[in-house]
Amino acid sequence: MSITGKPIFNEEGKVIQLFGTILNITERKEIETALQESQEIFSQLAENIDSVFWVNDPQNNQIFYISPSYERIWGYQRDELYKSPHSFLDTIYPEDRPKVVEALANFTENVIIVFDG
């Protein structure tokens, strides 16, 4: 339950009315708990997966998240990629870069691109 109230006072400072609401927030709390559990599962998966994956906004050239395995597999710090999202292109074999750039140009929401050489 969520209870809020506001007293109304008369000239003598006595409470003469009380305005308030009582809300059943059970459903909201259940949703918040489910969201937290989902975030914990995602975090465990993201932090322990052996593949590199990221969440980004290609229109604004911004990376929101990149898995820790990026550092192990690519040998570069994630901080570098957050600062300069296309810096990873320097690590791609020159003949493969056009394919990667083309795939990134066609990026849309909720798409998984696998670069398998």
Can you give the pLDDT at residue 101? 84
In this model, does residue 117 exceed pLDDT 50?
Answer: no
Full residue range of the structural domain in which residue 16 is found: 1-48
Overall domain count for the chain: 2
One domain for residues 28 and 79? no
Can you give the pLDDT at residue 23? 92
User: Which pLDDT band, with edges at 50, 70 and 90, does 109 fall under?
Assistant: low
CATH code of the domain containing 82: 3.30.450.20
One domain for residues 36 and 54? no
User: Which pLDDT band, with edges at 50, 70 and 90, does 64 fall under?
Assistant: very high
One domain for residues 37 and 55? no
Model-level pTM? 0.58
In this model, does residue 5 exceed pLDDT 70?
Answer: yes
Q: Buried (b) or exposed (e) across 8-32, using 16+ Cβ within 10 A?
A: eeeeeeeeeeeeeeeeeeeeeeeee
Integer angstrom CA distances of residue 100 from 40, 69, 97, 105: 32, 19, 5, 9
The answer to whether 3 touches 21, Cβ cutoff 8 Å, is yes
Mean pLDDT throughout 23-47? 93
In this model, does residue 39 exceed pLDDT 90?
Answer: yes
